[in-house]
Amino acid sequence: MNFNKIILVSDTPKEAGLAYYYNLALKDTFNNNNVFLIDNLFIQWKYLKFFNKYINFLFNLLDLKSKKIFDIILHNLPINDFVVVIFFNNGGLNTKYFNKLRKVDNLFLVNFLSDHPYGLQKNQHNILKQSTHLFDLFITFSTTINPILYRFGAKKVFNLPFAYCKYTHFIDDSILQKFDDYDIHYFGTWTKEIEDMLIPLLKYNLKIHGASWKMSKNKELRYIALNSSKSFSRSMVQSARNAKIVINFTRAPHMCLHTMKTFELTISGACVISNFSEEQNNYFPNYNSMVFFNTKDEMIEKIDYYLYNNDENVRIRKNAFLNAKDNNYHERSKDLINYLNKI
């Protein structure tokens, strides 16, 4: 397939998320002038989260967001040139406007799922099921999702694992041995399952950074999360590197066997201890570059070992950094371009 332009469509804030990382990478690997990102079209008021939700609900109800995205796409279509349009988790469009786009000539429509289909919000899941047949291609981060999309009516599915952004997450490996901040850091949104796993870690010097921890029923975890967030002035990269250990969990209920953090944390120079999954183990062999556990007891055992054995801790960091190095979005972008060119 010959194409001259790529349009990326995302509903996430600027300077964050998968679409932003691919935008940076594709501008370098494809063509800086022929990659265009549409993201987060509407104003977000920092201290008025409820108001933001209400406004976005209203925009969606009145089709304002979908219509605006649709109009911007049409405005940026070159005459007679084939264009690839990649939507990240539907990109904020609804089924009505996907049907409209399907009738436009010279468009190759792609939906890039960075979440499991059953992990999407209900309305997004419904849009996905209703519009699956309208896309020329789906991109998934894990092959475990592919059968679900084919069952929904997908024509083609291509797998691109998560990675890290060279401009955001990469560090100088000469500072891998500099960690002297606190025992354990967890980066991630609250869930009941994660809360249960973190309760045994309260005996350590623990920090938590992520959303929705005010929902935790454990007062100590809730207090730690709220105070960690208030004092969180550094990037995840800096905080992960300075922690003695970073604990990580994949989202097993949604069959997410690796996450964006799998690569973001390891390239940051962290010593990562995570629940075991085959996908993570393929990239980071156990006890060599990432430390895995299956049970709470194993988790505590591994934490105690790598918390008090600095040489082993540094060895894990260095090997993880080396294993992660080639798993960046520039390389993923090259794989994507090569795949599209063969269609």
* pLDDT single digits (tens) 79-135: 888 999 999 999 889 999 999 999 999 999 999 999 999 888 888 899 999 999 999
Task: For residue 261, tell me if it sits in a domain.
Answer: yes
Do 54 and 189 lie in one domain? The reply is no
State the DSSP code for 117: G
Q: Collapsing DSSP states into helix, strand and coil, what is residue 197?
A: helix
What does the alpha-carbon distance between residue 227 and residue 206 come to, in Å, rounded to a whole number?
A: 11
* Crossing angle between the packed helical segments 64-75 and 95-102, to the nearest 10 degrees: 20
Do 121 and 12 lie in one domain? The reply is yes
Between 17 and 48, where is the model more confident? Answer: 17
Task: For residue 227, tell me if it sits in a domain.
Answer: yes
Task: For residue 279, tell me if it sits in a domain.
Answer: yes
Phi, psi at 287, each rounded to 5°: 70, 5
Write the pLDDT tens digit of every residue in 282-324.
Answer: 999 877 999 999 999 999 999 999 999 999 999 999 999 999 9
What does the alpha-carbon distance between residue 11 and residue 88 come to, in Å, rounded to a whole number?
A: 8
Do 226 and 136 lie in one domain? The reply is no
List, in order, residues 6 or more apart from 230 with CB less than 8 Å away. none
- 334 lies in which domain range? 5-163+328-342
**Total of domains in the chain:** 2
Do 289 and 217 lie in one domain? The reply is yes
Task: For residue 177, tell me if it sits in a domain.
Answer: yes
Do 338 and 231 lie in one domain? The reply is no
Do 155 and 60 lie in one domain? The reply is yes
pLDDT at position 15, please? 74
Task: For residue 99, tell me if it sits in a domain.
Answer: yes
Task: For residue 168, tell me if it sits in a domain.
Answer: no
Closest CA to 111 of 32, 4, 3, 8: 8
Do 233 and 334 lie in one domain? The reply is no
Reported pTM: 0.90
Q: Collapsing DSSP states into helix, strand and coil, what is residue 279?
A: helix
Task: For residue 210, tell me if it sits in a domain.
Answer: yes
Write the pLDDT tens digit of every residue in 152-190.
Answer: 999 999 999 999 999 989 877 655 566 666 799 999 999
Do 334 and 318 lie in one domain? The reply is no
What does the alpha-carbon distance between residue 224 and residue 241 come to, in Å, rounded to a whole number?
A: 19
Do 316 and 211 lie in one domain? The reply is yes
Q: How confident is the model at residue 330 (pLDDT cuts 50, 70, 90)?
A: very high
Do 146 and 46 lie in one domain? The reply is yes
Do 25 and 65 lie in one domain? The reply is yes
In this structure, what CATH number is given to the domain that contains residue 58? 3.40.50.2000
Do 154 and 188 lie in one domain? The reply is no
